Structure 1
Amino acid sequence: MCIPCFISQLACCCGSAACSCCCNCCPKIKQSTGTRVMYALYFLLVTIICVIMMSPTVEQQLKENIPFYSELCEKMNAGENCKTLVGYSAVYKVCFGMACFFFFFAIFTIRVNNSTGCRAAIHNGFWFLKFIVLVACCAGAFFLPEEKIFLNVWRYVGAVGGFIFLLIQLMLLVEFAHRWNTNWSSGVTYNRLWYAALAFVTLVLFTIAVGAVVFMGIYYTHPEACLLNKIFLGINGSLCLIVSLLAISPFIQKLQPTSGLLQPGVISVYVMYLTFSAFSSKPKETVTSDGMNTTVCVFPFNSGTESDKKIVTAVGTVILFACVLYSCLTSTTRRSSAALRVCRNTEPETERARCCFCFGDDTDYYDEEKTGAGQNVVYDEREATIYSYSYFHFVFFLGSLYVMMTVTNWFHYDDHKIEKLLDGSWSVFWIKMVSCWVCVLVYMWTLIAPMVCPKRFEA
């Protein structure tokens, strides 16, 4: 039993066979899903390496626990204590290699329509060889000439690509809100409990949004300081109210009967989260009271201890990775791709209401084959691809740039370390605040787009 299993795994790593686990008890997996998960693991591995490179704590632990650390760094020509392998410049180079890897595959897989061709086989297999190529790309970036010019140019390329990726995230959020409402609304026709579920979730979402406004009004404003916080809290709160009223207005209801308060509830919660995150990322302000400088408009429950900062940073890093991977993996499905183009699918949607609506199948027609003695692989792309291979790699290319800029604190990279990921800087503040407004504008456009471009939304 071990020999067939070993052969199947060897074919997975070094051949064109689809990737599968070496366990017979594992549930069957689709070829399209397994491929995307493998690329996501590559992406996650490089991202973790970037986080380690930006952490002086990890560097110190390596220095203390690895014997002959200094001698090893000298033999690797990595400078004293491997200085060339840490810091923002090292992260830029590693992310440059990862971005080149995904950009090459984005070009290589253009116009691949099914999984039977040679290019599709390379995309879906040869994982060990592709891993070697990825490592070579990341390592080769450290030998680029004219380092200062490269870093200056690549910084602005990363900023543009990171912002585009952020826009994709926001558009996916809007698509998620519409899909949630459409799916649950489809269940109302045969079970009135779905209507109760819609009403309950909508009430919870708006309660959270209003509670967030009150919370930030109390703790993130001050009579003598934090003027920007007061202005932007009022603006963002007003925008949430406007889109909520717009979603249930009669002329929108006539064009989109399924439009309701659930979608603006999701948008409002996310806008309030971004507003809170922006306020937390803003440099701290102080006021003089009774001859003493007091820090105001900060998170009230932060004790300031190192353990608390590490926990908060770790949670923030996990949330960042989860958002990036979710955007990379979900933005390439047919439904999400159509939503990003702001148009209606050519085929009518047959929704079936369910709680976990995000895990629906893109197709129901596929062939199932047994791969050795291990896991079953479902070859679901022999007639047509489930997602665009080229666009999939391009989204990961943008995700590489977004991770690079986020880990290095965007344009405030000097003396930055991963332990200060959530510390304040004006660039992060403005990026998050602009993201709030873009998110609201994208949602408003999805509401009024059928009026502006009726032909694109004809059934």
Structure 2
Amino acid sequence: MCTPCCVSQLACCCGSAACSCCCNCCPKIKQSTGTRIMYALYFLLVTVICVIMMSPTVEDMMKDNIPFYNELCEKMNAGENCKTLVGYSAVYKMCFGMACFFFFFSIFTLRIHSSTGCRAAIHNGFWLLKFILLAGCCTGAFFIPQEKIFLEVWRYIGAAGGAIFLLIQLMLLVEFAHRWNTNWSSGVEYNRLWYAALAFVTLILFSIAVGAVVFMGLYYTHPVACSLNKIFLGINGSLCLIVSLLAISPYIQKLQPRSGLLQPGVISVYVMYLTFSAFSSKPKEMVEVDGVNQTVCVFPFNSGSESDKQIVTGLGAVILFACIIYSCLTSTTKRSSAALRVYRNSEPETERARCCFCFGDDTEDYEEEKTTSGQSVVYDEEERTIYCYSFFHFVFFLGSLYVMMSITNWFHYDDHKIEKLLDGSWSVYWLKVVSCWVCLFLYIVTLLAPMMCPKRFEA
């Protein structure tokens, strides 16, 4: 029973067959979904390696536990104690290799409309060969000449690409809020319980947003310090209130009958999260209290012990990378690509209210590969592609740059460690503050879009 499964796995690694699990109890998987998951695993693998490279803790553990560590580093031409394999420059090179890999496939997969061609077969299979190519790109980056010039130029390219990826992430959030409201609102027509669900979730979202404002007002402001925090908390809180009132105003309701409080609730919670993240990323501020210098406007549960600090940092890193993977995977669906104007669908999609509306509807009938020793694979792209291959790789290319800049603390990479991912940095502080305003601006644009471009919204 194991032999057929091994043969099928070999076919997906060295051929165009789709990969699947060696377990009959696993639910069937679509070819398009499996392909995207495999690329996401490649992306996650390189990201984990970059995190390890930025961690002096891991470096010290390797010195202590690997025999003849220094001699091994010298044989590899990696410098004393493998200095060329750690730090921000190593992360820049690894992400350069990963970015080249995805950019190449973005060009290679241009204008593919079905999975039956040779290029589509390479995109959906040959995983071992593509892994070797990715490893070769990342390894080759360490042999780039003129290292100082490369790092300086690549830093600014990374900043530009990371900013574009962040913008895409914000646009997807706005699209997610509208889709959530549209999907659940469609269920109100045949079941009033969906209306209760909308009201309940909306109440929870605004409670979280208001609670966040109160929390940050108590712990991230001070009577004689933290002036910027006071200003931005007031501005962001006021803007969230304004967009909420705008969403339910009679004029907007006339333009968009399904506009409600759920969308501004989602936006408000995310803006408050970005505001909290910005305040947490702000360099520490000291004031003199009773003749003693005291740190103010810091996370209240992060100042007592080192374990609390590690928990907060780890949680922030998990949220960061989860958002990156989510954006890379969801930005290439037809609906999200239409929101980003990459793919334009001429036929309106029918909505069916579901709790898990983010996942595709499995009502379509596709040809299914019958296997006797593993997971069944549904080939759902024989007639047309489900997502844009080229744009999929381009988003991962931008995600590679965003990971590179995030791990190295953007422009403050000197002596930076992954354990200090959430420590103070003015560049990260302003980036997140501006991201709040961009997110609110994008949402306001979607509300006023029918007025600005009426012909595009005519039935």
| Residues 1:158 and 2:149 aligned together | no
Deviation (angstroms), 1:208:
1.0
Higher alpha-carbon deviation: 51-60 or 215-224: 215-224
Equivalent positions of 1:84-99 (< 5 A) are: 84-99=84-99
Work out whether residues 302 and 312 of structure 2, in 8 Å CA contact, stay in contact via their aligned partners in 1: no
CA distance in 2: counterparts of 1:426 and 1:303, whole angstroms? 20
Structure 2 unaligned segments of length 5 or more: list them: none
Q: What is the Cα deviation at residue 305 of structure 1? A: 2.1
The corresponding residue for 2:288 is: 288
Matched with 1:27 is 27
Give the alignment of 1:390-429 within 5 angstroms.
390-429=390-429
Q: CA deviation at 1:32?
A: 0.1
Residue number in structure 1 paired with 2:321: 321
Q: How far 1:312 moved relative to its partner?
A: 1.7
Distance 1:347 1:107 in 2: 28
SS at match of 1:355: coil
Number of residue pairs matched? Answer: 459
Query: Aligned pair in 2 of structure 1 residues 442, 362: CA closer, same or farther (>3 Å)?
Result: farther
Asked if 2 retains the 8 angstrom alpha-carbon contact of 1:344 and 1:457, the reply is no
From the superposition, tell whether residues 112 and 371 of structure 1 become closer, same or farther in structure 2 (CA, over 3 Å): farther
Deviation per CA, 1:12-70, whole angstroms, max 9, x where unpaired? 00111111122222211100000000000000000000000000000000110111111
Query: What is the deviation of 1:343?
Result: 9.6
Greater shift after overlay, 148-157 or 183-192? Answer: 183-192
The SS at the match of 2:325 is helix
Which deviates the most, 54-63 or 449-458? 449-458
- Residue 238 of structure 1: SS of its match in structure 2? helix
Determine whether 1:72 maps to 2:96: no
Deviations 1:254-292 (A, max 9, x none): 111000000000000110110011011000111112211
Structure-to-structure mapping, 1:79-158, within 5 angstroms: 79-158=79-158
Deviation of residue 202 (structure 1)?
0.7
The answer for the alignment partner of 1:258 in structure 2 is: 258
Letter in 2 for 1:271: V
Amino acid at match of 2:333: T
Letter in 1 for 2:220: Y
- Of the structure 1 ranges 397-406 and 20-29, higher mean CA displacement relative to structure 2 is found in 20-29
C-alpha spacing 1:122/1:372, structure 2 compared with 1 (3 Å) = farther
Following TM superposition, where does structure 1 have runs of at least 4 consecutive aligned residues deviating by more than 6 angstroms?
A: none
Asked whether the 8 Å contact 2:284–2:296 carries over to 1, the reply is yes
Give CA deviations for 1:417-447 in whole Å, capped at 9, x if unaligned: 0000010100000000000000000000000
430 and 440 in structure 1: CA distance in 2 versus 1, 3 angstrom threshold:
same
Matched residues in 2 for 1:364 and 1:256: separation? 30
Counterpart of 2:380 in structure 1 is: 380
Shift of 1:348: 1.9
Q: Which residue of 2 aligns with 1:437?
A: 437
* 1:356-380 deviation digits (Å, cap 9, x = unpaired): 1111238724211124632211000
Asked if 2 retains the 8 angstrom alpha-carbon contact of 1:343 and 1:457, the reply is no
CA apart distance, 1:321: 1.2
Mapping for residues 122-271 of structure 1, pairs under 5 Å: 122-271=122-271
Farther off after superposition, 292-301 or 256-265: 292-301
Correspondences of 1:56-67 after superposition (within 5 Å): 56-67=56-67
* Structure 2 residue 353 is the aligned partner of structure 1 residue 353: yes
CA contact (8 A) 2:334 2:343 kept: no
Q: Provide the residue aligned with 1:273 in structure 2.
A: 273
SS of 1:358's partner is coil
Moved more, 213-222 or 321-330: 213-222
Give the equivalent residue in structure 2 for 1:3: 3
Counterparts of 2:43 and 2:317, CA distance in 1 = 15
AA in 1 matched with 2:47: T
The alpha-carbon deviation at position 72 of structure 1 amounts to 0.8
Q: Which stretches in structure 1 are left out of the alignment for 5+ residues? A: none
How many Å separate the matches in 2 of 1:102 and 1:59? 29
1:248 to 1:362, Cα distance in 2 relative to 1, 3 A? farther
Kept in 2: contact 1:342–1:446 (CA 8 A) = no
The DSSP-based 3-state class of the residue aligned with 1:427 is: helix
The residue type paired with residue 426 of structure 1 is W
- CA–CA separation in structure 2 for the residues paired with 1:274 and 1:286: 23
Is 1:303 the equivalent of 2:303?
A: yes
Inter-partner Cα distance in structure 1 for 2:458 and 2:141: 49
CA distance in 1 between partners of 2:260 and 2:315 (Å): 33
Q: Is the 8 A contact 1:344 1:456 kept in 2?
A: no
Identity %: 84
Q: Which amino acid aligns with 1:405?
A: M
Amino acid at match of 1:61: M
Aligned residues of 1:343 and 1:456 also touching (Cα < 8 A)? no
In 2, Cα distance between the equivalents of 1:325 and 1:36?
Answer: 10
One-letter amino acid of the counterpart of residue 401, structure 1? L
**Kept in 1: contact 2:337–2:343 (CA 8 A):** no
Q: Larger deviation: 365-374 or 45-54?
A: 365-374
- 8 A contact 1:363–1:386 mirrored in 2: no
What is the deviation of 1:101?
Answer: 0.1
- Match for 2:232: what amino acid? F
Is the partner of 1:359 in helix, strand or coil? coil
Q: Secondary structure at the match of 2:358?
A: helix
- TM-score (ref. length: structure 2): 0.98
State the Cα distance separating 1:211 from its structure 2 match.
1.1
| Contact 2:51 2:407 (8 Å CA) reproduced | yes
Q: Secondary structure at the match of 1:205?
A: helix
- Distance, in Å, in 2 between the alignment partners of 1:404 and 1:140 is 17
For 1:27, give the aligned amino acid: P
Secondary structure of the residue aligned to 2:234 is helix
TM-score when normalising by structure 1: 0.98
Residues 343 and 132 of structure 1: CA distance in aligned 2, closer, same or farther (over 3 Å)? closer
Q: Distance in 1 between matches of 2:112 and 2:372?
A: 27
Query: Cα distance, 1:328 vs. partner?
Result: 0.3
Measure, in 1, the Cα distance between the counterparts of 2:375 and 2:342.
38
Q: Secondary structure at the match of 1:368?
A: strand
3-state SS in 1 of match to 2:368: strand
